[in-house]
Amino acid sequence: MVDALTQSMGAAPQLIWHRETVLPDLDLIVLPGGFSYGDYLRSGAMAARSPVMKEVVRKANDGVAVLGVCNGFQMLTEAGLLPGALMRNRSLKFICRDVFLKVDGANQTFSGNYSSGQVIRIPVAHHDGNYFADNETLNRLEGEGQVGYRYCDAEGNTGDAINPNGSARHIAGIYNDRGNVLGMMPHPEDHVEDLQGCSDGRGLFDGLVEALS
Amino acid sequence: MKAIVHVTLKNGVLDPQGKAIEHALDGLGFDGVGEVRQGKVIELELDTADKDAALSQVSDMCEKLLANTVIEDYSIDLAD
């Protein structure tokens, strides 16, 4: 994640320790993936209560852009910044492979370099990526253009057989109602240069830098 | 005082782990088992002997950490 951000920004991001209680002025906060606290209790549950998260929530509510990937997405739902929850994969198996994503809702900050409906290839690596929310919430997310990315095949078709983890409505990533917070299970930072076999994720970071500069 | 918290998935929330247990029980020849739901039990030792205070404190813990009320329900039992 640090390398991906550095490549797009041309400068290294600041790394913030989870016990910090004050954040500097920031344009973007990124909660990267990982398995914080060994996924004890629930994925992201403990990390979402880390001291620094109070400030992250405050900044997000002030309108600062926040990106959460994988465990970061789980933390954002646990912290109440995004609706719903990430549950155990339908197959009960850890999934580690490339998937195709369809860029769904347009968002000024997070989808700048992608066109709506564009299909990108991005890896997933998770055990708890099965997005759940009640129907009312799902309808609202779809109605308000808050679904950012959906699992699909190479042609952009969605379906139960294509959905890797059982996520409701094939959702891979969502925005908050204000559009300044994005949580997604796939790892765009793992596809930013040809050395990684694909650079489809680069557009997200380049778009972020353009939108926030 | 001891508090025992049961955390279970809400009705309507799919429980793939419960489903896997159901299939395994079936494979072992246990007939007549309907839906299986898996949950968690969390035991807490509390300083207080005041049941009302304990209940209120543990409810607060459940709301803030022990359960994710988007997908889970909780119940609290107190024991001396």
pLDDT category at B12 given cuts 50, 70, 90 is confident
Question: Structural domain of residue B15, as residue ranges?
Answer: 2-79
Concatenate the DSSP letters of all residues of chain A into one string. Answer: -HHHHHHHHSSPPPP--TT-------SEEEE--S-GGGG-SSTTTTGGGSHHHHHHHHHHHHT-EEEEETHHHHHHHHTTSSSSEEE--TTSS-EEEEEEEEE-S--TTTSTTS-TT-EEEEEEEES--EEE--HHHHHHHHHTT-EEEEEE-TTS---TTT-SS--GGGEEEEE-TTS-EEEESS-GGGSSBGGGTB-TTHHHHHHHHHHH-
Please say if A187 is a catalytic residue: yes
Put simply, the chain B residues between 17 and 76 with a CB less than 8 A from any chain A CB are 17, 20, 64-66, 68, 70-71
CB–CB contact A85 B68 (8 Å): yes
Total of domains in chain B? 1
Q: Which CATH number fits domain A2-212: 3.40.50.12780, 3.40.50.880, 3.40.50.10480, 3.30.70.20?
A: 3.40.50.880
* Domain-wise residue ranges, chain A: 2-212
pLDDT in tens, B47-68: 999 999 999 999 999 999 999 9
Q: What is the pLDDT of residues A64-101, one digit of tens each?
A: 999 999 999 999 999 999 999 999 999 999 999 999 99
Complex ipTM tops 0.90: no
- List, for residues A12-71, the tens digit of each pLDDT value: 999 999 999 999 999 999 999 999 999 999 999 999 999 999 999 999 999 999 999 999
CATH number of residue B75's parent domain: 3.30.1280.10
Question: Quick check: A91 and B13 CB within 8 A?
Answer: no
The single residue of A126, A127, A152, A189 carrying the catalytic annotation is A189
Contacts of B12 in chain A (CB under 8 A): 134
From chain B, the residues in CB contact with A82 under 8 A are none
